[in-house]
Structure 1
Amino acid sequence: MMILRSSPSSPFVRKVRIAVRMLGCDDRVELRDADLNATAEPLRAQNPLGKIPALVLEDGRTLYDSRVILDYLDHIAGGGRIIPRDTQARFEALTLQALCDGAMDACVLIVYESRYRPAEMHVQSWLDRQAGKVARALDALEASPPPLTATPHVGDIALACLLGYRDLRFDRTWRNGHPRLHAWHDAFAAAVPAFAATAP
């Protein structure tokens, strides 16, 4: 049994959990929460960065980050399921995933600024820089939402998790001024039961 080191609210963990369900790997992956603040947390030995998600394989090796884990899950599921085989489609999916992962990184940094630094130490220019990344990403995605295919790929999964995390941590404010993304989100949620099943 593989072990997914996780946290219920992590959008990057949610990416992996959605893929696990979509690929029918539920019976091969055990979820195990990690305490990212504990110095004795085994995750720090499993992933020297101390970050989630990390997938501990049956032979004890560990894979990280979410992009590597999704690639591995697609591989063991036969390949070409959530990472397209066609060259153009593959790199479109991977580029969309990179854009959404970058925006999620920025969102997490904004959350951490409030969580780990007292208010008087907040650096507004830093927060503005991260918020700018998210705003540009959402605007680009609103201008050209990806087509939702019968089997969503890694880019689609990452986009759904980005929007879900904005709902969770930023009061659904992304929906203002992004009607095409709003429609895309709702269509993804209706088409992919794993999205609702993995909601934090």
Structure 2
Amino acid sequence: MKLYWSSTSPFVRKVVVSAHELGLSDRLETIQTRVAPSKPDPALLPYNPLGQLPTLVLDDGTVLYDSLVIIEYLDHLAGGAKLIPSSPERRIEELRLHALCNGFLDLLVQWRIESLKDTKQIALINAFNLKASKIWTNLEATVEGLAQQPFGLSSITLAIVAEYADFRFPKLGWREKYPALSNWHQSIQTRPSLASTRFFDSSKPQ
């Protein structure tokens, strides 16, 4: 299987961490791909007309996107119900929390894009700040219950939220404001799936 990949994409990292957790990482061939809203990669577009990462091309030529669809497939490939519960009640709750964390990742990516512009939309940045504050508060109240659950899709996504915030917004200071969330992340950050897939900017010397 070929995974169109970037070392700085939190959505790609969700897939890679999930593959590690499922024991499938050695079956992924990663293809370095750089995408930007204003500069689609012409090599990616024939596989994914959205021009987005992650994109997974299966051995039979089937193409899967986005990250949730890919993880659903990998979970099924590994036997099913390992990262996403099969019972309707637990599955809906897992997907609900995943939606919050995944939406937060999308917000953080858009926030970063806007912050890099020469002319910034202050109203938009203020909206990012307001939404982020509400999401952090919600996650702080949720994480204690999450710590009692198996390390699944929502836990993976929340861990990546924490590390993407550290990676792209080091001055945000979220750990001091949200200690329960920080403590939870500290307790799981040495998992091999996370430790072996840290964010790094491949365009810069390491």
Judge same fold: TM > 0.5, yes or no: yes
Q: Which amino acid in the other structure matches residue 192 of structure 2?
A: P
Aligned mates of 1:124, 1:44 — CA distance in 2: 33
Change (3 A) 1:126 1:150: closer
Matches within 5 A, 1:56-135: 56-115=57-116, 117-118=117-118, 121-135=119-133
Report the Cα offset of residue 176 of structure 1.
2.1
Kindly provide the CA deviation profile for residues 61-98 of structure 1, in whole angstroms up to 9, marking residues without a partner as x.
Answer: 21111111111110111101000112221111111110
Change (3 A) 1:182 1:28: same
The residue aligned with 2:152 is 153
Tell me the matched-pair count. 195
Given that 2:56 and 2:63 are in contact with CA atoms closer than 8 Å, whether structure 1 keeps it comes out as yes
The residue aligned with 1:50 is 51
Q: Which amino acid in the other structure matches residue 139 of structure 2?
A: L
Identity of aligned residues (%): 37
Aligned mates of 2:188, 2:93 — CA distance in 1: 18
Q: Which runs of 5+ in 2 are unaligned?
A: 200-206
Given that 2:111 and 2:125 are in contact with CA atoms closer than 8 Å, whether structure 1 keeps it comes out as yes
Given that 1:74 and 1:81 are in contact with CA atoms closer than 8 Å, whether structure 2 keeps it comes out as yes
Kindly provide the CA deviation profile for residues 88-135 of structure 1, in whole angstroms up to 9, marking residues without a partner as x.
Answer: 2111111111000111101000111133x21xx200111121222222
The residue aligned with 2:204 is none
Aligned mates of 1:83, 1:123 — CA distance in 2: 38
Judging by fraction of residues, say which structure has more helix.
1
Kindly provide the CA deviation profile for residues 15-72 of structure 1, in whole angstroms up to 9, marking residues without a partner as x.
Answer: 1110011101122111111121555531122111111011111122211111111111
CA root-mean-square deviation: 1.5
Given that 1:35 and 1:41 are in contact with CA atoms closer than 8 Å, whether structure 2 keeps it comes out as no
Q: Which runs of 5+ in 1 are unaligned?
A: none
TM-score, with length taken from structure 2: 0.89
Paired residue secondary structure (2:177): coil
Given that 2:41 and 2:51 are in contact with CA atoms closer than 8 Å, whether structure 1 keeps it comes out as no
Given that 1:93 and 1:156 are in contact with CA atoms closer than 8 Å, whether structure 2 keeps it comes out as no
Q: Which amino acid in the other structure matches residue 181 of structure 2?
A: L
Report the Cα offset of residue 189 of structure 1.
1.3
TM-score, with length taken from structure 1: 0.92
Q: Which amino acid in the other structure matches residue 141 of structure 1?
A: L
Aligned mates of 2:122, 2:194 — CA distance in 1: 33
Moved more, 149-158 or 177-186: 149-158
